[in-house]
Amino acid sequence: MTPPKCSVYIATSLDGFIARKDGSVGWLNVPPEISMKSDEDYGYKKFFGSVDVLVMGRNSYELVLTFGGWPYEDKKVVVLSSGHPRISENLASQVEIMSGRPGEIVQRLAERGAHHLYIDGGKTVQDFLEAGLIDEMTITRIPVLLGAGIPLFGPLSRDVRLRHIETNAYPNGLVQSKYQVAGTGQ
């Protein structure tokens, strides 16, 4: 059985934060006065269409619930938690709670036939990266400095080498880079 591809598609502030210290992400909205193309999705629809399962941490899940509407259509969502977060009745067929190490999660989803996993949320991305399971990362840098917050990356037990695939700069100042995780080194 071939393990599923694990990809990250995420935005950060220019100084590397995915959220403020309190978890808020309102700064991600590009102000309309600098948005040159309101229908630009920065490749998200194509990427999202290629994944079978979205894997996120509990904090990310609970943040998404505050957005007012469920943004993941009919995509299967796995929430990583050792507890029991509330799942509303209308999401019960789509959202599943799992616990375990990243390798165990990937194995379980592979056994169910998953081919491409979208890994989301700071701690979840860090854990999967540390476990050597991330294959590809698309990181969009938003032109704002937060000064403090929740970082995308944390401590690693080894170097993680990346191979640059492409970078796109948008007229509104967003810069998106895609990397393949090339392996580890000292």
Phi-psi region of 181 (alpha: psi -120 to 50; beta: other; left: phi over 0): beta
pLDDT band at 185 (very low <50, low <70, confident <90, very high): very low
> Quick one: average pLDDT of 66-76?
88
Number of neighbours of residue 73 by Cβ within 10 angstroms: 8
CA separation for the pair 154, 23 (Å, rounded): 16
Which whole number is the average pLDDT over 49-59? Answer: 95
Residue-wise pLDDT tens digits, 113-171: 999 999 999 999 999 999 999 999 999 999 999 999 999 999 989 999 999 999 999 88
Architecture of domain 5-20+40-185: 3-Layer(aba) Sandwich (3.40)
Q: Where are the domains positioned within the chain?
A: 5-20+40-185
Note the pTM of the prediction, 2 decimals.
Answer: 0.91
What secondary structure does DSSP assign to 110-159, as a single string? HHTT--EEEEESHHHHHHHHHTT---EEEEEEES---SSSEES----SSE
Kindly tell me if the per-residue pLDDT of 186 is higher than 70: no
